[in-house]
A and B are shown apart, each in its own frame.
Chain A
């Protein structure tokens, strides 16, 4: 059974750096084709794709946020970490990590419950 869980601060101040950790089980991020991505949803708004890291350490980012995002993986800990610099109140959102199974299907078949992050001074 695949599970993912997001962890990190619930409140960050403007200009600070956000670090979110996705801890997963039930799969390995060394399996060919597998990926873990991050998606966010501001209150009352749509889902926004942020970043994706693949089993081979290929990393993809949203171009609009690329300068602020870094995604890394630690396969020994079964974790994926997303950092976002220079946080702003518009970054207030629920942040999800999710699994993509590979085989060409980069859709997200299993999601974490999400973690709400508020940016406020």
Chain B
């Protein structure tokens, strides 16, 4: 299995400030034949199902605000929220879909400072 490790486990950021969550995979999730990274990011709020934010490591899902961006390649990735809003408080997960099982990271809890 590919192990996904997120850092930090929790993060407190002031409203309007930048938040960055990191995700590292135990092996590359870059598929050489199409040069695509098989990496997704989700936002999970209490009492709701997870919401897909980013796929292909940096492609924003339709309807997701442009303050959310994904970056990275190979084994190291990041989700950045450029200007934190109150509604962004949630747990964020990365997931690789390069090979099954399509493992998730352990989650990063994002709070307001």
Contacts and interface: CB of A to CB of B under 8 A. Distances in A.
Interface of A: 37, 39, 46-49, 52, 60-63, 96, 98, 100, 104-109, 111-114
B103 A105 contact: no
B100 A105 contact: no
Chain B interface category by residue count: 20 to 34
26 contacts: A37-B102, A46-B105, A47-B42, A47-B104, A47-B107, A49-B95, A49-B100, A49-B101, A52-B100, A52-B102, A60-B101, A61-B100, A62-B101, A63-B1, A63-B101, A96-B49, A98-B49, A100-B97, A104-B36, A105-B40, A107-B95, A108-B42, A108-B52, A109-B61, A111-B49, A114-B49
Interface of B: 1, 34, 36, 38, 40, 42, 44, 48-52, 55-56, 61, 93, 95, 97, 100-107
B97 A47 contact: no
Contacts of A39: 50, 104
Given A61-B101, A111-B50, 17 more contacts: A37-B102, A39-B50, A47-B93, A47-B104, A47-B107, A49-B95, A49-B104, A62-B101, A96-B49, A100-B97, A105-B55, A105-B56, A106-B97, A108-B42, A109-B52, A109-B61, A113-B49
